[in-house]
């Protein structure tokens, strides 16, 4: 069943006095290689036709590549402000995945042209950020701002992984985007680790020992 995100939470917050509400989500947490990315977006919640204009927006994981690219372009035109932050595989290894995800989200917030007044975040809270915030399990499927942020993060990260295909040929980064597919595992065994592999991830660490 197609789960359609809505603006109920954003509208409730807007009526409570918060005018600039940022949705945040990440992409790439489970990948074996490449950065963790995060998107942040502030939608014009008071725009009467916003829900209709964004009717096809969904959690990025449920959309085709073509639909993600379409909505990435559309969201950047409709948004009051948007930003994407990334944290490298090396930093993931150094500080851990959760801390790296929070850092990517903070970097996305810092790239916004407007200062948000409230944060709606998929799953995680940002304890080092003093802004009022709500973490929502499966928020990327139910809250339109978070779904929108998930698209920004996913498209930006996929583009980065396509760039890495040229820098580190043979791994298939443009196809699997660094996730643990059978093809990725096979190429890792053949070529060994690249500089963008996350050595702290157990499947990658095990291969390093082979």
Does 183 reside within a domain? no
Q: Which residues contact 111 (CB under 8 A, 6 or more apart)?
A: 40, 83, 84, 85
Strand ranges (DSSP E) for 67-140? 81-87, 118-122, 133-136
> Which residue range(s) make up the domain with 138?
8-167
CATH number, domain with residue 95: 3.30.420.10
CA distance 133 to 120: 6
Does 121 reside within a domain? yes
Q: Spell out the per-residue pLDDT of the chain, length 210, in tens.
A: 568 999 999 999 999 999 999 999 999 999 999 999 999 999 999 999 999 999 999 999 999 999 999 999 999 999 999 999 999 999 999 999 999 999 999 999 999 999 999 999 999 999 999 999 999 999 999 999 999 999 999 999 999 999 999 999 999 999 999 999 999 999 999 999 999 999 999 889 887 665
pTM of the model: 0.96
CA distance 176 to 189: 16
Total domains in the fold of the chain? 1
């Amino acid at each position: 069943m197609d789960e359609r995100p809505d603006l109920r939470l954003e509208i409730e917050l807007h009526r409570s006095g918060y005018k600039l509400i940022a949705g945040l989500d990440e992409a790439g947490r489970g990948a074996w290689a490449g950065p963790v990315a995060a998107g942040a977006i502030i939608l014009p919640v008071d725009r009467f036709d916003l829900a209709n204009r964004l009717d096809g927006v969904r959690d990025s994981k449920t959309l085709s590549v073509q639909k993600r690219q379409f909505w990435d372009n559309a969201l950047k035109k409709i948004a009051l402000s948007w930003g994407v932050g990334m944290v490298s595989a090396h930093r993931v290894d150094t500080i851990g995945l959760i801390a790296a995800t929070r850092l990517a989200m903070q970097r996305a917030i810092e790239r916004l042209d407007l200062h948000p007044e409230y944060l709606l975040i998929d799953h995680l809270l940002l304890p080092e950020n003093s802004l009022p915030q709500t973490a929502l399990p499966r928020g990327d499927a139910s809250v339109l701002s978070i779904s929108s942020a998930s698209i920004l993060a996913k498209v930006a990260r996929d583009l980065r992984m396509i760039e890495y295909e040229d820098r580190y040929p043979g791994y298939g980064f443009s196809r699997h985007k660094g996730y643990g597919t059978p093809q990725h595992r096979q190429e890792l065994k053949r070529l060994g680790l690249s500089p963008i592999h996350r050595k702290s991830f157990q499947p990658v660490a095990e291969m390093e020992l082979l």
